Amino acid sequence: MNAAQQHALARLSVCLPAVPSPPPTAAEAMCKHILNAQVSIRSPCCKKWFDCAECHAEKADHPLTQTFDMTFICKKCKKAFRKDAREFEDADEYCPHCDNHFVLDAKTPKASLQVEGEDARVDSRMIKDERIQQEHMRSIFDVKEAPNKLG
């Protein structure tokens, strides 16, 4: 390549718009901060897709640029749409393509300690009935049943 071709190529690459990043894959789409995220948001600064501002802060090396014009991708129908935050109405809480409600109360992960088991109203086998006398712990050294077991 001669100098004129290199100059033309450099000028052409400056004029071309930046190639936007593709929407996140299923593995990248899971946000650990908001468990019920319905859309991915395109950050205006680096043109990458994130589920929340905390995800952007973790993965990017720059602060998130704030803007009123936001670009979303619905996680249900996988289609992109834009919304202006200054003119946000109740009808704007839904995806314009599939009517998926994407403005929800965020479910955030919480540490909890629970007993796993079925609902006691459906299956009560795990609940001890206090009215019935329970058998004591059985062992191999029970001598009450020993004569019945021999020969």
Task: Quick: pLDDT tens for 104-131.
Answer: 777 777 777 776 666 767 776 666 666 7
**pLDDT tens, position by position, 56-85:** 888 888 988 888 888 989 988 999 999 888
User: For residues 78 and 118, what is the distance between their CA atoms, to the nearest angstrom?
Assistant: 36
Q: Cβ distance 109 to 32 under 8 Å?
A: yes
- Chain-centroid distance of CA 97 in Å reads 21
Angle of CA points 26, 27, 32, to nearest 5°? 110
- Residue 135 pLDDT: 66
Q: Classify residue 139 by its DSSP letter.
A: -
**pLDDT tens, position by position, 20-53:** 555 555 545 578 888 888 888 898 888 888 888 8
Q: Classify residue 101 by its DSSP letter.
A: B
